[in-house]
């Protein structure tokens, strides 16, 4: 080959997203997942229900990695380095998902149930928000970062799984930590003996406190009789879009406006200038904005797909379908498994932790969380868990293609932060009944205002976390590193 | 691993934060830039992709310029000129 051709070939190889080692690995992973999917469908077409979870997970993983879309960054970078990029991205995604979720709801395919309102939501958010500053990522963020080769994020997944499982299965020793009113209320519920709901702090919390609370959506509250009005004016506009506009305005005024006016050399800005500045903030990071749009659209599509499949198979829960397909192990006593039908992160991780602990000999089904509500199915047939695997793989494929994949081994400090922070995230998630996705993103976009309360807790916890983190950093870098 | 920050030439510095994950790279970049004078250059080396977007927003928002970006095998080398 002449040197010109060789140079051009090298140039192409350098710019190509596939013709390099990482690209080949990406193709390999994609081919493997596709092959396994086809094989499953050939064995039994009903696996499509599970595969929908997997492939939406892959899509989420791609969008998350593409936009570096992490809700921990939304809070943490806002307070730590005054960068509103992710806070803006989350608001964009929220506004859009509220519309797609609204469309799914009015067509009758929604699988969403609102959360009961109570103090546990803000406290859970606080603990979760504090933990995520130290782990370097939120719940969904830790999944996509694991896909980038970040071993610290993988440690977060480990600790978030086990902390949740252990927390949900706390033993009798924890009973004294719960108010006696909870024990009385729990006993009245008449739950089956094998669940031992009056035993264990989390069971008492769930059956003796949370079950006495109620929740609802804005649509439920409006109840005009016209579903479109209730959902789009209530859930989407009042419940999501208006709050996001208010938050975006606050972000603009407190973090973006000054720099924008200085860069544009505007001393007496007009309203049009402010609007341009606001738009500038929204589009400052195109990747983030696009990821937000993509997530909002696909989150809605997943709800529709799962809802449609449930109607097609005439089921309320994947557990019913699994049993018809011959899988009966690991169900809850209601013969159900965890099957939200939309993007969710933490419960399936708890189930993985629970499954391993069960394998190690601990009885994990004598509680409400696993025994009554979610079951502990085999991870290989746990649809939401495979969605999480999909997120990791989707992120890995994109990272490999972009030459961004790299195994990163954490030092002792980072590993400790990951494990402890992950444990806090797990506890916060179970208290708040979800994470940044399940307790905030999925909630506010479906008219459940408790999501904003979780976000408030998460933000406050994040603020305290950043302050604590800063103090730690100051002590660590005092005197030598940056003084030259 | 350790944070490596030092002067590499006339008006040129290097900050190596490879191995660090969010939020370290962006926070150390902020601290390092504070040590530079106007017009001086910081060679930033990091390998956590997620930090990149925040670094761009933080750096450019404060009037600095990222005038060169290289990446390969997961490592990023960016050149930042202080405004």
- Kindly write down the DSSP assignment for every residue of A398-441, as one continuous string: HHHHTT----B---HHHHHHHHHHHHHHHHHHHHHTS-IIIIII
- Residue found under tokens 């109620």: A214
Q: Are A239 and A452 in contact (CB under 8 A)?
A: no
A203-235 pLDDT, tens digit per residue, is 999 999 999 999 999 999 999 999 999 999 999
Quick one: A272 exposed, middle or buried, by C-beta within 10 A (0-12, 13-18, 19+)? exposed
What pLDDT is stored for residue A479 in this prediction? 64
Instruction: Give me the long-range contacts of A46-51 (CB less than 8 A, separation at least 24).
Output: A46/A313, A46/A321, A46/A324, A46/A325, A47/A325, A48/A309, A49/A306, A49/A309, A49/A313, A49/A318, A49/A321, A49/A383, A50/A318, A50/A381, A50/A383, A50/A386
What pLDDT is stored for residue A222 in this prediction? 93
What pLDDT is stored for residue A474 in this prediction? 85
Query: How far, in Å, CA of A232 to CA of A106, rounded?
Result: 9
State how far the alpha carbon of B56 is from the alpha carbons of A315, A430, B49, B74, in Å.
Answer: 48, 35, 12, 17
A286-336 pLDDT, tens digit per residue, is 999 999 999 999 999 999 999 999 999 999 999 999 999 999 999 999 999
> Per the CB < 8 Å rule, is A85 touching B53?
yes
Percent of chain A with pLDDT over 90: 89
- Provide the shortest C-alpha distance from residue B55 to chain A (in Å): 9
What pLDDT is stored for residue A223 in this prediction? 93
Residues of A in contact with B61 (CB under 8 A): 82-83, 256, 259
Query: How far, in Å, CA of A35 to CA of A54, rounded?
Result: 13
> Per the CB < 8 Å rule, is B23 touching A76?
yes
Whether residue A407 is predicted with pLDDT greater than 60 in this model: the reply is: yes
Residues of A in contact with B45 (CB under 8 A): none
* Average of per-residue pLDDT across A458-471: 96
Element (H, E) at B16: strand B12-16
What pLDDT is stored for residue A1 in this prediction? 53
Determine the residue among B31, B49, B69, B73 to mutate to test chain A binding: the one whose Cβ has the most chain A Cβ atoms within 10 Å: B49
> Per the CB < 8 Å rule, is A406 touching B47?
yes
Q: Are A46 and A324 in contact (CB under 8 A)?
A: yes
Whether residue A10 is predicted with pLDDT greater than 70 in this model: the reply is: no
- Residue found under tokens 């991780």: A349
Determine the residue among B5, B13, B62, B74 to mutate to test chain A binding: the one whose Cβ has the most chain A Cβ atoms within 10 Å: B74
B33-80 pLDDT, tens digit per residue, is 999 999 999 999 999 999 999 999 999 888 899 999 998 778 899 999
Percent of chain A with pLDDT over 70: 97
* Average of per-residue pLDDT across A12-39: 89
Query: To the nearest whole number, what is the mean pLDDT of chain A?
Result: 94
- Tokens at A425, concatenated: 């995230």
Confidence of residue A18 (pLDDT cuts 50, 70, 90): confident
Whether residue A15 is predicted with pLDDT greater than 80 in this model: the reply is: no
Whether residue A14 is predicted with pLDDT greater than 70 in this model: the reply is: no
A378-406 pLDDT, tens digit per residue, is 999 999 999 999 999 999 999 999 999 99
What pLDDT is stored for residue A334 in this prediction? 95
Query: How far, in Å, CA of A142 to CA of A61, rounded?
Result: 11
What pLDDT is stored for residue A13 in this prediction? 59
- Residue found under tokens 């932060």: A417
Whether residue B6 is predicted with pLDDT greater than 80 in this model: the reply is: yes
Active site residue B57: no
What pLDDT is stored for residue A124 in this prediction? 98
What pLDDT is stored for residue A88 in this prediction? 96
Confidence of residue A475 (pLDDT cuts 50, 70, 90): confident
What pLDDT is stored for residue A39 in this prediction? 98
What pLDDT is stored for residue A90 in this prediction? 96
Query: How far, in Å, CA of A148 to CA of B74, rounded?
Result: 9
> Per the CB < 8 Å rule, is B1 touching A411?
yes
* Average of per-residue pLDDT across A439-455: 97
pTM given for the model: 0.94
Residues of B in contact with A403 (CB under 8 A): 71-74
A75-108 pLDDT, tens digit per residue, is 999 999 999 999 999 999 999 999 999 999 999 9
Pairing of strands B12-16, B41-46: parallel
Element (H, E) at A40: helix A21-43
What pLDDT is stored for residue A477 in this prediction? 76
């Amino acid at each position: 080959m002449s040197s010109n051709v060789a140079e051009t070939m090298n140039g192409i190889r350098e710019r190509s997203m596939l013709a390099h080692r990482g690209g080949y690995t990406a193709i390999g992973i994609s081919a493997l997942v596709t092959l396994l999917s086809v094989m499953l469908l050939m064995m039994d077409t009903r696996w499509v229900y599970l595969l929908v979870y997997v492939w939406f997970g892959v899509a989420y993983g791609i969008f998350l990695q593409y936009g570096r879309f992490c809700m921990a960054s939304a809070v943490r970078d806002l307070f730590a380095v005054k960068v509103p990029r992710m806070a803006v991205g989350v608001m964009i995604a929220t506004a859009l998902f509220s519309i797609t979720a609204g469309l799914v709801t009015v067509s009758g395919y929604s699988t969403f149930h609102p959360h009961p309102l109570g103090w546990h939501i803000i406290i859970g958010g606080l603990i979760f928000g504090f933990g995520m500053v130290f782990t370097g990522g939120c719940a969904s963020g830790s999944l996509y970062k694991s896909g980038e080769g970040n071993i610290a994020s993988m440690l977060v997944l480990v600790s978030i799984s086990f902390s949740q499982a252990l927390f949900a299965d706390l033993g009798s020793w924890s009973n004294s930590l719960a108010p006696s009113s909870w024990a009385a209320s729990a006993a009245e519920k008449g739950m089956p003996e094998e669940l031992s709901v009056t035993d264990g702090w989390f069971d008492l919390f769930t059956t003796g406190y949370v079950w006495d609370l109620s929740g609802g959506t804005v649509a439920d509250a409006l109840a005009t009789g016209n579903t479109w009005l209730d959902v789009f004016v209530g859930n989407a506009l009042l419940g999501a879009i208006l709050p996001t506009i208010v938050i975006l305005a606050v972000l603009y005024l407190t973090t973006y406006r000054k720099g924008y006016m200085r860069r544009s050399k505007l001393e007496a800005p007009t309203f049009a200038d402010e609007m341009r500045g606001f738009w500038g903030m929204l589009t400052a990071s195109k990747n983030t904005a696009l990821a937000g749009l993509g997530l909002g659209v696909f989150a809605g599509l997943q709800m529709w797909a799962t809802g449609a499949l449930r109607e097609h198979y005439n089921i309320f829960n994947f557990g019913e379908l699994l049993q018809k397909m011959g899988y009966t192990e690991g169900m809850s006593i209601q013969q159900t498994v965890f099957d939200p039908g939309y993007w969710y992160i933490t419960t399936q991780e708890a189930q993985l932790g629970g499954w391993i602990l069960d394998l190690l000999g601990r009885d994990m089904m004598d509680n409400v969380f696993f025994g009554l509500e979610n079951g502990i199915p085999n991870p290989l047939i746990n649809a939401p868990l495979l969605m999480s695997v999909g997120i990791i793989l989707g992120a890995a494929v994109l990272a490999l293609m972009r030459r961004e994949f790299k195994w990163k081994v954490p030092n002792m400090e980072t590993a400790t932060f990951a494990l402890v922070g992950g444990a806090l995230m797990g506890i916060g998630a179970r208290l708040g009944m979800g994470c940044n996705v399940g307790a905030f993103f999925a909630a506010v976009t479906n008219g459940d205002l408790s999501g904003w309360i979780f976000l408030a807790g998460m933000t406050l916890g994040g603020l305290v976390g950043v302050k604590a983190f800063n103090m730690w950093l100051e002590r660590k870098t005092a005197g030598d590193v940056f003084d030259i | 691993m350790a944070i490596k920050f030092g002067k590499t030439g006339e008006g040129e510095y290097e900050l190596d934060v490879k191995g660090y994950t969010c939020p370290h790279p962006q926070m150390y970049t902020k601290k390092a830039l504070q040590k530079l004078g106007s017009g001086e250059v910081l060679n930033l080396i990091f390998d956590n992709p997620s930090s990149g977007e925040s670094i761009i927003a933080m750096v450019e928002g404060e009037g600095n310029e990222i005038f060169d970006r290289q990446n390969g095998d997961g490592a990023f080398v960016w050149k930042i000129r202080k405004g």
